[in-house]
Amino acid sequence: MARMTCNFISYVLKRAVDITVIIPTTTIPESLVNDPKQKPTHVIEEKYPVLYLLHGYGNNHATWAGYSRIELYAEENNMAVVMLSAENKAYNNVSQEDHYYDFLSDELPEFIASMFPVSTRKEDTYIAGLSMGGYGTLVHGLTHPERFQAIGSFSGAVSMLNGKEGTYDVMNIIKHLLETKQPFPHMYIACGKEDFLYDANVQLIEYLKNNDVPVTVDFVEGYTHEWRFWDMEVERFLDWLDRTDHYAGQKRKV
């Protein structure tokens, strides 16, 4: 496993930004194999599928790696993972120099594809997040269904900015997709039943199902707004993905 913290100048945000990138590499079990025909190498067979993983309110690019086992899950599944810092700006354009919507939508994928061995195919690209990041996942994933094969919202703050005009209202985005008959990405929505955001997620699911939008739901008893739940759900999400990339079905031992 290679976990890299990268600092670079963003031309959208006009300042230096931090991201964490996970790239699968040789594992210790693989390094101990004595068979010369199975000798490990750092040469990449094919570009990796990539998950853009969004943090919640008050978190940053390092929080997922600190509180969950995302490194383990990424290594097992031969999946690159990209995590950014979006402050508390909900992955939206909120001021003249805080264009986080544009950064995540355009500049970050461009930078990642230029610097790391990740696929740019829609079929290999996913986005997921928790709480505020679940909201950001829905906004970006549903605004750009042509870019993401699947999206995952965990305890998503799905009603953020509801009633506001423009790009960032989840319900407006869904209604636009329905009206224009555009295909939805594969959707996975999870929430603990004791979470304060549970009712909002139930309402979202009811609306999607009433409009015949396919969605996988995982509402779980006994969980609130907590990392035990999000760690469990990101693993379930990765296992749920219907992958077609070169590494699909190659679960690794770490």
pLDDT digits (tens, 9 = 90+) for 180-227: 999 999 999 999 999 999 999 999 999 999 999 999 999 999 999 999
> From CA 3, how far away is CA 213, in angstroms rounded?
36
d(CA 185, CA 32): 40
Give the helix ranges, DSSP H, for 78-217: 100-102, 108-115, 132-143, 170-180, 198-210
Could you tell me the pTM of the whole model? 0.95
Q: What is the pLDDT of residue 29?
A: 84
3-state secondary structure of 3: strand
SS3 189: strand
Cβ(195)–Cβ(155) under 8 Å? yes
Residue 75 three-state SS: helix
Residue 89 structure tokens: 């700006």
Fold type of domain 2-240:
Rossmann fold (3.40.50)
Domain ranges across the chain: 2-240
Q: What b-and-e string marks burial along 215-244, b requiring 16 or more CB atoms within 10 Å of the CB?
A: eeebeeeebebeeebbbbbbbbbbeebebe
Q: Is 84 helix (H, G, I), strand (E, B) or coil?
A: strand
R_g over Cα of the chain: 18
The SS3 call for residue 91 is coil
Q: Roughly what angle, to the nearest 10 degrees, separates helices 227-240 and 70-77?
A: 10
pLDDT more than 70, % of the chain: 97
The pLDDT value given to residue 97: 82
Helices marked H in 169-216:
170-180, 198-210
Residue-wise pLDDT for 89-138, tens only, equals 999 998 878 999 999 999 999 999 999 999 999 999 999 999 999 999 99
Q: Check: CB of residue 151 under 8 Å from CB of residue 185.
A: yes
Using alpha carbons, select from 62, 149, 136 the residue that is nearest to residue 105: 136
Which residue has tokens 């594969």? 186
- Res 37: pLDDT: 72
Are residues 14 and 111 in contact, defined by beta-carbon separation less than 8 angstroms?
A: no
Widest distance between CA atoms in the chain: 62
Q: What is the pLDDT of residues 156-168, one digit of tens each?
A: 999 876 555 567 8
